[in-house]
Structure 1
C-alpha cells in the first residue's frame, strides 16, 4: 500500500511538471485563429461578408512574454487581408513593481518604464506587415497600460499617455470613449460602419454614453473595449456586436468547462473568460471575449490557447 501511494504521488508530480512545461513552452505559442459570424443591424452592403480581426493582451514586459507571436499574427493577417484589425488593450505589463501602491509611484522606476516602452516599440514594429498592407489598425487601452493590476491601484495617466503616443507613432489609432467611421472596403460609397472604442474600466475611464453620443441614430456599429465589465453599462440595443479581452480565457482552466479557471478563483466577481457571453448585458447587446496572447502573474496557459478572432460581418 505504501509503495502504491509513493508511486501514485510520483506520477502526480511528473504529470504536474509535464503540464507546467507544456503550458509554459508549448501552449502559449499555438495560436488559435478562430472564425466567427457576427450580425450587425443596418450593416452597409459594402461591409457584408467583410472580416474584422481582434487581438488583445500583448502584456509586453511580462517575464517569458511571447511577443514573438505578434510577428506570426501580423504576417498571417497581412496575407488574409481583413478590413480592419482591433487590439483590445493591455499592451504592457505591470512595469512599476508591486510596492508601493501610493502616489509616490508617479516618480518611481521610470527607467524600468522606459525599458518596457522600448520593448513595446519592438513588439509594435512586428505589426509592420499590417500597416504596410494598408490594413487599418485601432486600439483601446487596458488596466496594465495605466500600471493597474487591481481596480484600487493608483492609475498612472502619464504612463497611459506614453503607451498611446507609442501606438500612434506606428500608425495605430487609439480610441478613448469615441466613435469614428471605418474606411469603407474598396473605397465604396454608402452608409458607413462606425467603430466605438471604450476607455479602461479599472482606470474609471470607461464612458459608453460619451462614445455613443457621437453616433448618428441607427448607425451600424461595432464596439470594443478591454474589460468585459464595461459591457454592462451599455444601454439596451446600443452594442449589438461588442468585443473585449482582459481575462486571457481564464489562462489556466479545467478541460470541458469555461466556468472553472485560475483567474476566476482569484476574482471577486464573475469572470467572462472567452467566446460569446450569454445572459449578460442589456437586451439587444452581445459580447465576445477574446483570450488574448499574453499572460498575467505567471507565464502559463493551460486549456486557454492564445487567440486571434476573425469576425465575418453579416
Structure 2
C-alpha cells in the first residue's frame, strides 16, 4: 500500500510542477511590466520548491498506519491541514493527467504537421574553441562551463515549406528566418558578426527578423557593424519584441535598425512585387507594441491575382490572428524552443499562453502555415538539447 502511495506522490509531484510551470508560461506571455513579471517569476520558483518541502515536513511527522487502517480509511477525523494537502494533491494528480494528455496531443500534432516540411541541417557550428571572443558577460562565461550547454553552438537549417495556396510564380522563393538575437552585452559583438556572416552566406531572397533584437541601449552602437550588414535582394525586414521594452526607448531601437537599412513591419503591412507576383508583408507585435496591422486597409482588388500574405509576429500566440486574417505564412520566435528540452519529453517551459505547444517548428491551421524559430540567443545563458538556429525557408507549392 505504501508503494502505491509513493507512486501517487510521484504523480502528484509531476502534476505540481506542471501547474507552476504552466503559470510561468502564462505570465511570461502577458504584456505586464517587467518588474511585475520578475516578481511573479520569483514567486513561482519559490512555490515550486516550497510546497514540496512543506508537504514532506508535514508528512514525516504523521504516524505510520498499518495497511488495514489505510484501506479502511484509518482515523476518519482529519485536521484541516490534512484536508488541504488532500485537495491540493488531488488537483496535482488531475494536472498530471491533463499534462500527459496535452503532451500526447502535441506529439500527435508534431507528426501530423511534418507533412508540411522537409528539413535538413546545412551546417552545425561550435564556437566554444573561441569562447573568449564570443562571450562578454561573466554569467555567459560561467554558462559555457556547464556540461552540455549549447549557447555557443549553432544550427543552420534548410526547410522546404509546402504551402497549400502558394502560387507557382513563388515556388522556390527563399527566406532566411532569424529571431531573438538579444543584443544585451552578454554575448560579444564578434558573436553577432558571425551570425550575420552565416545569414548572408545563405543568399536568400528575403531576410526576416521576428523580434527581440535589443535588450540594452549600449548595443545600439553594434547595429551598423552587425545587422546593418545583412543583405538580401528583396530586403531585410524586422519587427520588435517584448525585450525592446527593456531599453530606454523602443522607438530608438526601431530607428537604429531603420537607419542601418532594415525595413520595419511592426503594426503595418506593405505589398511587394516579387517575381511579378504581389506579396503582402505584415508585422504583428502584440501584445507588447500595439496596434496590430489593419488588414481592412489592404486593397486586394488592385491586383489581378490574390496576393500571397506573410505575417511576421513575435509570439506564436498570434497564430489564431494570422489564420483569421487569411495569411498564408506566419513567422514567429519569442519562445526559444523552450531552451531546455528533455529527451523524449521536449520543452518544459515556454513563454506562451499555450504552454509548450508552439515551442518551435512548423504548425498548420487553415489557411496559415507557421514557422517558429528557436532563436539565436537569450537572457538566460543556458540551452540544453535546444541549439540556436538560423533557418533558410524554401517555399514550395503544397503537396
Q: Same fold (TM over 0.5)?
A: yes
How many residues in Structure 1 have an aligned counterpart in Structure 2? 250
Is 1:193 matched with 2:279?
yes
Q: Distance in 1 between matches of 2:353 and 2:300?
A: 37
Alignment match of 1:56 (pick from 161, 164, 179): 179
Q: Is the 8 A contact 1:179 1:215 kept in 2?
A: no
CA RMSD, Structure 1 to Structure 2 (Å): 2.8
Cα distance per residue 1:220-270 (max 9 Å; x no partner): 122111011122223447122111000011011212333x32x33x76642
Deviation (angstroms), 1:80 = 2.3
Deviation (angstroms), 1:117 = 2.7
Q: Is the 8 A contact 2:295 2:325 kept in 1?
A: no
Which structure dedicates a bigger proportion of its chain to strand?
Answer: 2
- Could you tell me which residue of structure 2 aligns to residue 214 of structure 1? 298
- Could you tell me which residue of structure 1 aligns to residue 30 of structure 2? none
- Could you tell me which residue of structure 1 aligns to residue 355 of structure 2? 270
Q: Distance in 2 between matches of 1:72 and 1:48?
A: 30
CA gap of 1:65–1:23, structure 2 versus 1, over 3 A, is: farther
1:78-117 matched pairs, under 5 angstroms:
78-93=200-215, 116-117=216-217
Higher relative contact order (CA 8 A, sep 6+): 1
Q: Distance in 1 between matches of 2:172 and 2:360?
A: 23
Deviation (angstroms), 1:304 = 1.1
CA gap of 1:179–1:215, structure 2 versus 1, over 3 A, is: farther
1:59-74 matched pairs, under 5 angstroms:
59-61=182-184, 64-65=186-187, 68-74=190-196
1:141-180 matched pairs, under 5 angstroms:
141-147=240-246, 159-180=249-270
Which structure dedicates a bigger proportion of its chain to helix?
Answer: 2
* Partner SS for 1:78: helix
CA gap of 1:20–1:213, structure 2 versus 1, over 3 A, is: farther
Q: Distance in 1 between matches of 2:385 and 2:299?
A: 39
Q: Is the 8 A contact 1:57 1:292 kept in 2?
A: yes
CA gap of 1:23–1:159, structure 2 versus 1, over 3 A, is: farther
Q: Is the 8 A contact 1:201 1:229 kept in 2?
A: no
**Higher Cα Rg, which structure:** 2
Q: Is the 8 A contact 2:280 2:309 kept in 1?
A: yes
Range with greater deviation from structure 2 (287-296 or 215-224): 215-224
**Structure 2, unpaired ranges of 5+:** 1-141
* Partner SS for 1:70: helix
Is 1:300 matched with 2:382?
yes
